């Protein structure tokens, strides 16, 4: 089957592309490269051992999407394209609604016109807002503390309305917790442009000596060591979760929201210690003020993914840190 991945050259998209290509599917990557590099296409081809199609395009370009869906006989779309920096979304909300929400409407219009009715959407645990209980299951109420988070809620809701209006649609909104780590080959991983917003790439860059120290955002949360608790999920597990979701869409209809997490939380200090122990490198840090909007703890109840998709995360924190470290070293070699 032919699968279109919007945002396919990004961190998560590239790993999903490899996982589904290795199941024998044809993959078409569609990305405007606003936050990724075309070199990823070569790395994917190297890993899967065959060439693939890359289209440089914007999801707001409905016409180009239609042409692409038609030309490649696309059966399913994995929709990962989007802007994802929480802080930036507070400064530029129109960019976030335009890119994420308007972009998704454009994609759905193109799919409708071309008769493609199956889509996996990259949602986020951020849609749960401030947790009312833990672990978070899919029945938890939705709220957001940023335009980024609200763009994800708007998209989930518009996708549900589409599924209600026409039962031939099959839609899975995968709510990712904290993706981290790198591919088993260490050829691909999280390599953000500019200063990393997320914890793991920041820790990795400090360990590599690219940055002097990590700022730990608050040590006065209601958690055992006072730092924030999160559910870090290995990127390979996350990619396999998408493969399971694609199979699920083959035999289901309607709209579904499914958490992709491990259910096992770790604190910021535990992440630092684990990374230091795996890498043997020091990660100097200092405690600073809480980051606005951060919650004390956020982790998944992952039962639905197990029962509906037959999927559960298999890899542990050590494997997350080890692959991140090995990827950083591969990257440094490549840049020499
Ligand atoms: P990423 O920035 O690495 O990948 C997103 C890709 O989308 C980039 O390659 C970017 O160039 C592309 N893109 C952005 N706007 C586009 C547009 N208008 N048209 C075409 N391409 C466009 O981010 P990622 O971490 O791989 O995230 C992928 C998806 O998963 C995003 O939708 C993100 O919101 C969601 N998500 C990410 C996380 C996380 O922590 N990484 C957590 C939850 C959800
Ligand atoms: C993890 C922990 C920070 C950086 C964000 C988005 C969410 C989702 C995933 C897309 C927190 C602490 C971080 C640093 C730190 N993305 N931290 N120093 O905040 O759980 O979620 O990314 O959907 O929407 O909000 O992830 O990696 O930014 O932070 O102390 O330099 O690390 O306070 O406790 P978060 P994160």
pLDDT digits (tens, 9 = 90+) for 178-190: 999 999 999 999 9
pLDDT at 276: 98
Report how far ligand 2's centroid is from the alpha carbon of 198 (Å).
Answer: 5
pLDDT at 11 over 90: yes
In-domain check, residue 177: yes
Question: Candidates 294, 296, 297, 300: which one to mutate for ligand 2, based on the most atoms within 8 Å of Cβ?
Answer: 294
In-domain check, residue 18: yes
pLDDT at 317: 98
> Stretch 207-219: mean pLDDT, rounded?
97
In-domain check, residue 106: yes
**From the CB of 123, is ligand 2 less than 6 Å away?**
no
> Stretch 209-225: mean pLDDT, rounded?
97
Other CB atoms within 10 A of residue 314 CB:
11
Atom of ligand 2 nearest to the CA of 126: 24
In-domain check, residue 223: no
Cβ-in-10-Å burial (0-12, 13-18, 19+) of 141 comes to exposed
Report how far ligand 1's centroid is from the alpha carbon of 220 (Å).
Answer: 31
* Residue with token string 């990724």: 36
Which residue is catalytic, options 11, 30, 96, 148? 148
> Stretch 259-274: mean pLDDT, rounded?
98
What's the total number of domains in the chain? Answer: 1
In-domain check, residue 144: yes
pLDDT at 248 over 90: yes
Closest C-alpha to 85, from 10, 141, 14: 10
Q: Are 181 and 253 in contact (CB under 8 A)?
A: no
In-domain check, residue 16: yes
* Torsional class of 188: left (φ above 0), alpha (ψ -120 to 50), beta (otherwise): beta
148 is a catalytic site residue: yes
> Stretch 260-283: mean pLDDT, rounded?
98
Backbone angles phi, psi at 173, to 5 degrees: -95, 110
pLDDT at 250 over 90: yes
In-domain check, residue 166: yes
What's 155's domain CATH number?
A: 3.40.50.720
> Stretch 61-81: mean pLDDT, rounded?
98
DSSP-derived letter for residue 126 is G
User: What percent of the chain stands above pLDDT 90?
Assistant: 97
**From the CB of 225, is ligand 2 less than 6 Å away?**
no
* Angstrom distances, CA of residue 48 to CA of 20, 93, 95, 203, 318: 10, 38, 35, 29, 26
Query: Which residue's C-alpha comes closest to atom 21 of ligand 2?
Result: 178
Report how far ligand 2's centroid is from the alpha carbon of 7 (Å).
Answer: 21
pLDDT at 193: 86
User: What percent of the chain stands above pLDDT 70?
Assistant: 100
* Angstrom distances, CA of residue 46 to CA of 6, 12, 144, 204, 221: 20, 17, 39, 25, 44
Report how far ligand 2's centroid is from the alpha carbon of 199 (Å).
Answer: 6
pLDDT at 336 over 90: no
Structural domain boundaries enclosing 26: 2-181+233-262
Q: Are 137 and 302 in contact (CB under 8 A)?
A: no
pLDDT at 148 over 90: yes
Report how far ligand 1's centroid is from the alpha carbon of 275 (Å).
Answer: 25
pTM: 0.98
Question: Candidates 268, 292, 298: which one to mutate for ligand 2, based on the most atoms within 8 Å of Cβ?
Answer: 268
In-domain check, residue 157: yes
> Stretch 129-136: mean pLDDT, rounded?
97
Query: Which residue's C-alpha comes closest to atom 28 of ligand 1?
Result: 80
pLDDT at 93: 97
- Kindly indicate the confidence band of residue 226, based on its pLDDT and cuts at 50, 70 and 90: very high
pLDDT tens-digit profile of 35-64? Answer: 999 999 999 999 999 999 999 999 999 999
């Amino acid at each position: 089957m032919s699968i279109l991945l919007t945002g396919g050259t990004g961190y998560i998209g590239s790993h999903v592309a490899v996982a589904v290509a290795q199941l024998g599917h044809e993959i078409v990557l569609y990305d405007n490269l606003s936050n990724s590099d075309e070199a990823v296409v070569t790395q994917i081809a190297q890993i899967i051992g065959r060439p693939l199609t890359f289209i440089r395009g914007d999801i707001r370009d409905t016409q180009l999407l239609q042409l692409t869906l038609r030309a490649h006989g696309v059966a399913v779309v994995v929709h990962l394209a989007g802007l994802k920096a929480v802080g930036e979304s507070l400064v530029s909300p129109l960019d976030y609604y335009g890119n994420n929400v308007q972009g998704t409407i454009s994609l759905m219009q193109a799919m409708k016109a071309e008769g493609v009715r199956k889509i996996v959407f990259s949602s986020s645990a951020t849609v749960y807002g401030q947790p009312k209980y833990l672990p978070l299951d899919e029945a938890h109420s939705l709220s957001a503390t940023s335009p980024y988070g609200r763009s994800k809620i708007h998209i989930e809701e518009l996708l549900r309305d589409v599924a209600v209006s026409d039962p031939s649609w099959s839609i899975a909104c995968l709510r990712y917790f904290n993706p981290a780590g790198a591919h088993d080959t260490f050829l691909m991983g999280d390599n953000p442009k500019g200063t990393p917003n997320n914890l793991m790439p920041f820790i990795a860059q400090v360990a590599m000596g690219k940055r002097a120290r990590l700022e730990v955002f608050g040590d006065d949360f209601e958690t055992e060591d006072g730092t924030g608790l999160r559910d870090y999920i290995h990127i390979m597990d996350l990619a396999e979760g998408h493969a399971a979701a694609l199979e699920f869409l083959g035999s289901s209809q309607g709209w579904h929201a499914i958490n992709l997490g491990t259910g096992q939380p770790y604190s910021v200090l535990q992440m630092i210690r684990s990374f230091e122990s795996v890498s043997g490198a020091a990660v100097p840090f200092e405690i600073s003020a809480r980051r606005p909007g951060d919650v004390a703890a956020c982790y998944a109840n992952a039962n639905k993914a197990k029962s509906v998709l037959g999927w559960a995360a298999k890899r542990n924190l050590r494997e997350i840190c080890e692959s991140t470290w090995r990827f950083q070293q591969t990257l440094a070699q490549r840049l020499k």
